[in-house]
Structure 1
Amino acid sequence: MAKMIAPYLLTALTVLLMGGFSGCVPAGEDEPEDVVRPVKLMQIKKPSPEINRILPGKLRPQRETRMSFRVANELQSLEVDTGDYVHKGQVVARLDPRDFRLAVQNFEGSLGEARSNLKAMQEGARTEDVISLEAELRAAGSAVRESQLQYRRHKELYEQGAVARAELDRTETALEEARGRKRHLEMELQKALIGARDEDIQAMQSRIESLEAALEEAQSALQDSVLRAPFSGYIAEKHVENHENISAGQPVATLQDLTRLEVKFGLPEQLVVQKDDIKEVYCILDAYPGFPLPARLKEVSTDARELSYKATAILTMPENIRALPSMAAQVHISIAPDEDGDQLVTVPETALFTDSQGKDRVWVYDSGSSRVQSRQVRTGELTSAGVQVLSGLGAGDLVVTAGAHFIQEGQKVRPLE
């Protein structure tokens, strides 16, 4: 057994010693021209003229919504069942409308009263109202005079000790009340004759605007107590039952438009960078294995999940195929790179080095002279397979993938087997 292992150990030791000695050359000094360094090479292959991939996917409706009320109350009636087809605008569910109707009625009443008051303030009182106020004011004046007589009489009696202090205070209070009522009626009569003050009118106008806004909001809440389908489709699921207390925004039912379907699938990162070269996409449903369905790539996410990027393709559905959401599908993708453009290849990260100007380069091996020449390349993203090279390399190029930092321009190298 030892005899079998010995040749391999000797070969490995020779390679290690050659690499170790070369690392001992001082920086800035040229290596001897006769040093032939062993290197590992990689040949750039010509990309296939067409790449075909089959990826698993699942159907989803392009339009799907979880319908909900914008207001809260008890659910009075849910008028659909799972699987029902509904037209756009059709009633799906209703909340108990009593609270909403009462709010509308209250605001309508308050608004009508405020508008009447504003009209009276702007136009002044009617003639009959003025006559009535004048009569009340005359009566109030007589009451003041009578109260004055009573007060003077009780004051004289109190000074004579004929009545108690409480009786005098009572007549004085009655006199002040009579005077206050007279002043109030005088102000009311003045308003009736010349109208309300500007600030009072502005305050009433502001109140009317506030009531109008509140009424509009109450009317909208009443309308929102009826849930209608935003588009035609099928009820995929019910989330509530009758007589439940429903919160605003709580899902009531899921509505799906099955006339337009799309397929969701994961696109590997190797294909994401070539998505602009995708020439054809079609799907085959597991339920209809003999019917390829034309598709169009709609979008590709920029955030990877589980080493793939979420992609969506829109299907063209013939009338004779009954496809439903969540059906399994096989997504067929054909990629045809542009032969006239740069071919994207991937090399190990160890093949790259940076020149004095900060440009990425690789060593390209010339089999005729057994020497290497540096070549500038334009790099892309770092993937699990290596670094993407967007330009600078072509099919057939031999690239040094190991030892790139230990060789020089034009140096002779020996490819490792």
Structure 2
Amino acid sequence: MKKKRIYWAITIIILCIVSGLIYVKMQGGQAVETTVTEKGEIKQYIEDIAVVKSNKRQTVYIEGAGKINNIEVNVGDYVKKGDVLLTMDKQDLELKLKDATAKIEAAKAQLASTDSSNYVNKIEIAQAAVDSAKVNYESITRDLNNAKTLFESDAISQQELNKAEDAYKTAEVTLKSANLQVEDAKDGAPDYLKDGYMAVIEQAVILRDSVMREIEKQQVLASIDGIILEKLVDENSMGVTGTVAFLIGDIKSLELEGNILSDDIYKVQIGNEVEVSGKAMGDLSVEGKIIKIAPEAKNITSSLGVNQKRVPVTIQINGETSLLRPGYDLDIKIITQVKSDTLVIPDSAVFDYKGSSCVFIVDSGKAVIREIKKGIESEKTIEVLEGLKEGEKILIKPDNNIKEGMKIKLG
């Protein structure tokens, strides 16, 4: 019993001391940091990360086919439009080109042979045939006239007269045929023969041009000025038509691509200003604006392995970009709302109390809890719509030691 009485006596003494200290402290005042409420500007924004991209990018494909002999560039190299990026084997195509060229020359030679100047001998031969046929015709004509006279005097039979007439007709036809051959020889080769040789030449030219185009495709050329962002093929591998070989980007024309959480995208609009910064820029920061919002969200896995629905947005950079390169990660703040001439207080001054947002104001040297209605919030400040007036004094960083009614000593 004696021990219990001693225990309770000690407890009462401690409580008295603590109560006394609290009372003294309340009477003496708790040293706190305060500020006077005032109006200003507040920006609400969404923070995220965006990737630098070239908005003038070209995917370069292999159009030919064959073994890749040489790759002339590496990732990071600057190229101009028309520069050779890689070459593929073209020996077989060069042989086909020689064959097509030879066929053209052969067909041209055949066509040249149909020229009338090459038909002089044929004309002379045909004319000789005419002369011979004419002599024969005249001889047969005389024989026919003699036969007629003899027949009238009953010196020959009807059969012999008929034979003479048939010979005459044959000689006449032979003469006409010889004359036609002379005319054909003078006109040169027949049109159908010339047309045939021309068709052969056209086909050979088409083949040659086709082979030349195939040879051209054995080189892959830069389609724009820029730097090689990606190289997707290797030397001594087989190039196949349609294979992606390079990705080229214009580093003078850059933009940012961000992916905003689908829960926040409703706040973002085309034209929203963006503050851009990051380690890649050092102390430099630039401004930008939202120029494109994708029509649908996509699944993206975060660095922590969390699958999230995010909506891609494109940001135009308005400022110095010489330090930036495609692929850099930068910090962005998308300004979704701006208010000016509104009451703004530090966010550290606000705390939850009985389900409401509250602050401590200083009233007659004492801490008094005041319920407020918050507006938009930024990184370190909060807009106050109701509950405070401009010029009132509030505690900046109230802690658990501050009690309502406690006397305040300004620190």
Q: What TM-score, normalized by structure 1, do the two folds share? A: 0.49
* Higher Cα radius of gyration: 2
The two structures have a TM-score, normalised by structure 2, of: 0.50
